[in-house]
């Protein structure tokens, strides 16, 4: 009975989670009708003005829709099998009755992995729900019910986790949303004034044009602050979670632990080919499991960092790592949800 109730609640939660996306979609579809039909086709008289407005508008609309689609339907990246407990490791872990012995099993597994961040207590991070050792910058999302690589936040407006796999798409979505709004506001403004002072006749177009102006400006102002905040995060190489709670390393918390300079920070998100920066295709560097650190001297404290080049991704998608023999035996594992 309880299990059936739990499944029903989860089903309802999944259905209701699409409401914000449906609201955005409805507003955008209405704006398309209001701009294309009520303004361009029914209000504008100059043919050249019509063509110019419609051409630029549809470019903005396509790029907005493309980036929004990619932000919604790009699955969150999750830790690979190297970070999951294998069948034999899981048996060893479950057979041990003493917590210290269980922690030691996880310590042995962590020796093979490029993990440099710690929990607040200084312990290696472990997700008890997903049964994985958490890679750097990885966090468990209670909404998606999985660990997400370089998790930034769970966004209800895209009904998805924003993280390593779609952070570039999310930033482009914000930028093209702003461009879409400011273009509408700039081109509608003249006719907004004409309707307002009564130079144009009253009709259905008046309501759509007036409302279009207010909605475009309202969304633009909201998006401007959000986009500016994420630009600052990219420049500092921080996620939203890391901005609120600094990542902890062997030497302690450090908000700038992953900050390797603005140029390299941008390249981590957008890639090295600048011509692809503004197109929603995958260009982000790395695989989301390892990120360069600001303080390279930490290699002397952790041999894993010195052997980062030996932990590469093979052609079949599985990582072939080099077993590092030495690690501080005092390191413990903290169980996190």
Which sequence positions are flagged as catalytic? 155
Q: Evaluate whether 292 touches 258 at the Cβ level (below 8 Å).
A: yes
CA end-to-end distance (rounded Å), the chain:
26
CA–CA gap between residue 265 and residue 233 (Å, rounded): 10
Q: What are phi and psi of 312, to 5 degrees?
A: -110, 160
DSSP assignment of 40-67: IITT---HHHHHHHHHHHHHHHHHHHHH
Note the maximum CA span of the chain: 83
CA–CA gap between residue 133 and residue 145 (Å, rounded): 16
Q: Which residues of 5-16 are buried (b: 16+ CB within 10 A; e: fewer)?
A: eeeeeeeeeeee
Q: Is 117 exposed, middle or buried (0-12, 13-18, 19+ CB in 10 A)?
A: buried
């Amino acid at each position: 009975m309880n299990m059936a109730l739990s499944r029903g609640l989860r089903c309802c939660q999944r259905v209701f989670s699409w409401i914000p996306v449906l609201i955005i979609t409805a507003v955008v579809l209405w704006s398309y009708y209001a701009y294309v039909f009520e303004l361009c086709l029914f209000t504008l008289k100059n043919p050249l003005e019509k063509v110019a407005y419609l051409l630029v508008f549809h470019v903005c609309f396509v790029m907005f829709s493309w980036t929004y689609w990619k932000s919604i339907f790009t699955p969150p990246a999750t830790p690979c099998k190297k970070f999951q407990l294998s069948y034999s490791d899981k048996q060893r872990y479950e057979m041990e009755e003493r917590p210290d012995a269980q922690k030691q099993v996880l310590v042995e597994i962590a020796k093979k992995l490029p993990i440099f961040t710690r929990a607040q207590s200084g312990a290696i991070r472990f997700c008890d729900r997903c049964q994985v050792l958490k890679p750097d910058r990885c966090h468990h999302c209670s909404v998606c019910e999985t660990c997400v690589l370089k998790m930034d936040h769970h966004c209800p407006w895209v009904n998805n986790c924003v993280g390593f796999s779609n952070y570039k798409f999310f930033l482009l979505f914000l930028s093209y949303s702003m461009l879409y709004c400011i273009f509408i506001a700039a081109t509608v403004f003249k006719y907004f004034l004409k309707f307002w002072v009564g130079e144009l006749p009253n009709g259905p177009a008046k309501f759509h044009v007036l409302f279009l102006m207010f909605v475009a400006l309202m969304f633009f102002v909201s998006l401007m602050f959000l986009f500016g905040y994420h630009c600052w995060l990219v420049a500092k190489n921080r996620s939203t979670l890391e901005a609120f709670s600094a990542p902890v390393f062997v030497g302690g918390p450090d908000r700038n632990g992953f900050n390797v300079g603005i140029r390299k920070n941008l390249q981590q998100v957008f890639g090295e080919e600048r011509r692809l920066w503004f197109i929603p295709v995958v260009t982000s560097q790395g695989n989301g499991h390892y990120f360069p650190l600001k303080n390279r001297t930490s290699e002397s404290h952790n041999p894993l960092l010195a052997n980062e080049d030996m932990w590469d991704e093979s052609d079949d998608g599985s990582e072939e790592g080099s077993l590092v023999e030495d690690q501080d035996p005092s390191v413990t594992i903290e169980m996190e949800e």
